[in-house]
Structure 1
Amino acid sequence: MYYWRDLGEVPEDFGPSVLTLGNFDGVHRGHQQVLQQVLDAARERSAAAVVVSFDPHPAQVHRPESAPELIMGLEDRVEMLADAGIDALLMMHYTLEFAANSPEDFVEQVFVRALGAKAVVVGHDVRFGRGNSGDLDTMRELGAKLGFEVIAIEDFGASYPLRSTDADGDRRCSSTWVREALETGDVETAGRVLGREHRMRGEVVHGAARGRELGYPTANLAPSSQGFIPADGIYAGWLIDESGVRWPAAISVGSNPTFEGVSRQVEAHVINRPPERVQDFDLYGQSVVVEFLHRLRGQVTYRGPEALIEQMKLDVGQARTLLSAQPHALLSTEQRAEG
């Protein structure tokens, strides 16, 4: 996938293209349906499939005090868009100056001159240009004037039947739904809307080493880590190291109320550390991904370390059982060598 951070990086002879625009925070199942329509339309027209997106999120520029917490960081968003099969991504730097462009100036400069748009795929609720003054009718008028087709999707991020037995069964997939689920620790629902486990990405840093002292060493994510932090509690999930190995893990989110003076943090205890490296399994300084599969329990204050250790033993056992049944459970060292 071509990845451009500025209009000046787009080759002068690029095009023709079929494109869509949006923030694509989470790249959830609804987004994936839109991207597939872009891909289909591009193949039918022998054109490149292109996404135009923005960084930072426009809400962070216009109303930083109330902007929603992002589901994923920029690196993961780029990776997910590439995995979807998109041919090119133009990630435009969003500023107040950029936002002042009129709808026509924006479309002509970006869609037509830079990307050679043959068709534009948008939802009926599309808004663009200065003050969000451009809408679907505006896009159609500009398409007729500037020579591109407008493909309107009935529901941008259409409904996906996640569960047929409850009120959410036909709810429209959205980034808002993912955030609502994560705020309550419901990582299973978030995963169903996303189409994969929710993830965070960050550097492993030194912590207070209490986990190691208690017999359960953890990889502590730096406060600067990217991705929506789910509700406090204990989770079963995965830690993916820099080499791409996926380790089963018991993940703690919170401030660990059993001990005083601990700030909120995300830490993962790798369950199946290689036997030959139990003592020196060192992830410090690595950029890792932590994925959340299932919430085991909420955060609890214990009367002392002994009770906490006993609960940690139960948590790790439960996490191991849940993760061992997953299709991407970690292979043994011998199995990896054979592969």
Structure 2
Amino acid sequence: MVHIWNDPTEVPRDFGPTVVTIGNFDGVHRGHQHVLAQVTQTARRHNIPAVAVTFDPHPAQVHRPESAPELIMGLQDKLEALGSTGLDAVLVMKYTLDLAAMTPLEFVRDVLAEGLHAEHVVVGHDLRFGAGNGGDVGTMQELGEKLGFSVQVVNEFGAGGFPLHHDGDADRRCSSTWVREALSQGDVVTAAAVLGRPHRMRGEVVHGAARGRDLGFPTANLSHDSTGYVPADGIYAGWLIDESGTRWPAAISVGSNPTFDGVSRQVEAHVIDRPREAVEDFDLYGQTVAVEFTRRLRGMVAYQGPEALVEQMNLDVAQAHELLVRG
């Protein structure tokens, strides 16, 4: 069981000593995973808990909301991904201007040393923290000497298969920016390679225009406040995971339905290969589901009427079935 705390005051007094790392961890990609692996390995070696400190909302959403990047994942998925790395606990700090104003000393003393009883701190080589991002690796090492913890610096792309080699990007560092770039182009395969798993969105299934049902392709429409980066418009093969954890193969549409002059972007998943007896009873409305993107099948196209669209949708479903079910 992974403990989740929202403030240092929630950490039990007798919890610790600990091995701690700090980061936004948007995407919990392979670079993050490499650092987190060092955290858990160090913790097991010393037989003490491994803890990650992260922030919600993302600092960029507080400091520059007008230009903050779209997040790769929501908090729930981030916590699940962090928990899957072997951590014992995650401290989610509410990011505010008051927190941002803490000096490096105040943050490390109050959160790491006194809050989490850190004995070892593991950080990436490009660490920045404290007011104005004034703290770096050297600062952390100096504070460690004063406050009684050791500091381990990890090169996120120097070992364990890093950097990720892909299409000539032999020296490219795994990063959240790279994931967003790939998703913005609909390249969910590269995004999955950097993430170490398929990209996913999560949201409540809501009622839509019901055009898919009318055409014979009922869809689960995600609400507009769903979390996760929305990839480029197009049709994708992927999976819908319902609240019970059942994974359903799906053809996923991202876009504004140009055949019907749609204007707002919508993410909707048509579940394929449902048992015959489940077709009529298959109702996901009101459920919070996850949608995973495996491969982009094509871009979004405006067709000359419903007949041409239905013909293409049959081809899309057949291709998705071939990829997902037959492999």
In which range does the TM-score fall when normalised by the shorter chain? over 0.9
How big is each residue's C-alpha offset from its partner over 1:145-166, in whole Å with a ceiling of 9 and x where there is no partner? 11100101133786635446x3
Aligned to 1:90: 91
TM-score, length basis structure 2: 0.97
CA deviations over 1:159-208 (Å, ceiling 9, x no partner): 635446x3124421111110000000000000111111100000000000
8 Å CA contact 2:19–2:39 kept in 1: the answer is: yes
The one-letter code matched in structure 2 to 1:160 is F
CA deviation string 1:254-296 (max 9, x = no partner): 0010002442100000001121021231111110000000000
Matches within 5 A, 1:233-312: 233-312=234-313
Q: Distance in 2 between matches of 1:89 and 1:264?
A: 34
> What is the letter of the counterpart of residue 212 of structure 1?
R
Gaps of 5+ in 1: 327-339
For 2:162, the aligned partner's letter is: Y
Residue 191 of structure 1 is matched in structure 2 by: 192
Aligned residues: 325
Looking at structure 2, the residues matched to 22 and 139 of structure 1 have their Cα atoms a distance apart, in angstroms, of 14
Q: Is the 8 A contact 1:34 1:156 kept in 2?
A: no
The one-letter amino acid of 2:206's match is V
Q: C-alpha distance in 2, partners of 1:284/1:323?
A: 24
Which residue does the alignment assign to 1:179? 180
Contact 2:205 2:289 in 1 (8 A): yes
Mapped partners of 1:108, 1:275: distance in 2 = 61
Instruction: Return the alpha-carbon distance in structure 2 between the equivalents of residues 155 and 273 of structure 1.
Output: 42
Question: Which residue identity is paired with 1:125?
Answer: D
- Structure-to-structure mapping, 1:27-176, within 5 angstroms: 27-155=28-156, 160=162, 162-163=164-165, 166-176=167-177
In the TM superposition, residue 54 of structure 1 has moved relative to its aligned partner by 0.4
Q: Secondary structure at the match of 2:65?
A: coil
Q: Contact 1:28 / 1:195 at 8 angstroms: preserved in 2? A: yes
Partner of 1:226: helix, strand, or coil? coil
1:114 match: secondary structure:
coil
Q: Which runs of 4+ in 1 moved over 6 A?
A: 156-159
Pick closer, same or farther for the CA change 1:60–1:156 going to 2, 3 Å: farther
Identity of aligned residues (%): 69
TM-score, structure 1 as length reference? 0.93
- Cα distance in 2 for residues equivalent to 1:178 and 1:199: 12
Q: Distance in 1 between matches of 2:213 and 2:34?
A: 44
Contact 1:157-1:172 within 8 A present in 2 as well: no
Change in 2 beyond 3 A, CA 1:281/1:187: same
In the alignment, the residues of structure 2 paired with residue 251 and residue 119 of structure 1 have an alpha-carbon distance, to the nearest angstrom, of 44
CA RMSD of aligned residues (A): 1.3
SS of 2:180 mapped into structure 1: helix
- In the alignment, the residues of structure 1 paired with residue 19 and residue 171 of structure 2 have an alpha-carbon distance, to the nearest angstrom, of 29
Q: Is the 8 A contact 1:124 1:156 kept in 2?
A: no
Distance 1:157 1:231 in 2: 31
1:301 maps to a residue whose letter is A
Query: Does the residue aligned with 1:121 lie in a helix, a strand or coil?
Result: strand
Quick one: structure 1 residues 157 and 298, their matched pair in 2 at CA, closer, same or farther if it must change by over 3 Å?
Answer: farther
5 Å matches for 1:212-223?
212-223=213-224
How much has 1:99 moved relative to structure 2? 0.8
Contact 1:103/1:128 (8 A) holds in 2: yes
Q: Is the 8 A contact 1:223 1:265 kept in 2?
A: yes
2:164 and 2:174 in contact (8 A); partners too: no
Relative to 1, partners in 2 of residues 1:255 and 1:298: Cα closer, same or farther, differing over 3 Å? same
1:211 pairs with 2:183: no
CA deviations over 1:92-145 (Å, ceiling 9, x no partner): 000001111110011001111111111101122111111111111111110111
Q: Matched residues in 2 for 1:241 and 1:277: separation?
A: 14
- Alignment match, 1:202: 203
Larger CA deviation: 9-18 vs 183-192 = 9-18
CA contact (8 A) 2:157 2:163 kept: no
Q: SS of 2:120's equivalent? A: strand
Distance across 2 between alignment mates of 1:324 and 1:211: 22
Contact 2:74 2:227 in 1 (8 A): yes
The CA deviation string for residues 54-82 of structure 1, in whole angstroms up to 9 with x for no partner, is 00001111111111110000000001111
Q: Give the aligned residue type for 1:219.
A: A
